[in-house]
Amino acid sequence: MLVYYLPLSLSMVGCTLNLIAISFFKNLHNCQTLRQMIICFTSSDLILFTSYLVMHGLFGDSAFDISHFDLPNLITFIIIHAGIYFGLITSQLWTCWLAQYLNCHGNGTFEEKWLIKYKATSYFMGIIAVVAVISLDVIEVFRGRSVTRELWFNVAIALALFLCFVFSLKSYLSGIYRVWKRRDSIPWLLLIYPLVAIAVPMPKILVSIFCTLMNSCGDNKWIHLRALFYLQGFLNALAYGLISLISQLCATLKRRSNRLLSQASDGIDIISYCDKADSLYKSRLSV
């Protein structure tokens, strides 16, 4: 279905371009820690939406009963299904860590060793999600589909997304409050990040809960919500790197004529904002 393949393809292309930009354009931002965090975050998105694209390509767009699969298709489905939830959980967690990085980096309390904690926590929770998904799939094969199991699983995923949203929102609001106390211009656009993190995937999860309760998961009247979720990888790629890259390329190619445009776009994405915070913090230390 084109309404699925188009946003999924955009997300994959956006994530791939963002990884290339972060990896090869060394002057995209100054902080190596932020570079690594965005690489991990974008890789999680790439795993998530590539898995969804392969899932639709191999098994179609409608609901299906995996208990009727032969062994090769069953193994393929379980691997792809695990990849989806590994990517979803780790991506949401990296959204939290990026929000905390921005908040703590702005006031000079961030510690480089936290990156190890971020990676360990993200991948540990991702592995837990993988184990849960595989267990549910295996149980479904031998015992049949259970509405109760699916319901509790989807509720757990919705709760995880909501907690990530609250954590990210708290971090961004703390940073905005600190800026307000300094009487600087308040970067309200930073609130886009937690809103995208919750507003894009949550409707799809809630619809999954509704479909499970109503036993109508095969109904395609919710495709627009699923398509919106599939576009999240592209939106994240824009917000966490591509806008900054495009701005810098425009400024380099047409420095004089695009000076006003470069200034207007400064601070729109998280990379530009973190670089400003880093410069401000270093200037204060020198004083």
- Residue 95 burial (CB < 10 Å; 0-12/13-18/19+)? buried
What is the band of 268 on the pLDDT scale with cuts at 50, 70, 90? very low
Q: Which long-range contacts (CB under 8 A, 24 or more apart) does 274-281 make?
A: 274/29, 274/31, 274/34, 274/101, 274/102, 274/105, 275/29, 275/30, 275/31, 277/102, 277/105, 277/106, 278/30, 278/31, 278/105, 280/106, 281/105, 281/106, 281/107, 281/108
Contacts of 279 (CB under 8 A, 6+ apart): none
Tens digits of per-residue pLDDT, 146-180? Answer: 778 888 888 898 899 889 888 888 888 887 787 77
- Look at residue 152 and give its three-state secondary structure: helix
Q: Which of 24, 35, 195, 177 has the alpha carbon at shortest distance from 106?
A: 177
93 pLDDT higher than 60: yes
Overall number of domains in the chain: 1
Instruction: Find the distance separating the first CA and the last CA of the chain, reported in whole Å.
Output: 59
Looking at per-residue pLDDT, the higher value among 228 and 87 belongs to 87
What is the band of 50 on the pLDDT scale with cuts at 50, 70, 90? very high
Residue 255 phi, psi dihedral angles, 5° rounding: -60, -45
Tens digits of per-residue pLDDT, 18-36? Answer: 888 877 766 555 577 888 8
129 pLDDT higher than 90: yes
Q: Which CATH number is 25's domain given?
A: 1.20.1070.10
- Determine the pLDDT at residue 267: 44
Q: What is the dihedral of CA 129, 132, 133, 138, to 10 degrees?
A: 160
Q: Which domain holds residue 87?
A: 2-286
Distance CA(106)–CA(187), nearest Å, equals 13
- Determine the pLDDT at residue 275: 56
Distance of CA 277 to the CA centre of its chain: 23
Sign of the CA dihedral with 67 first, then 70, 76, and 79 last: positive
Across 81-101, average pLDDT: 92
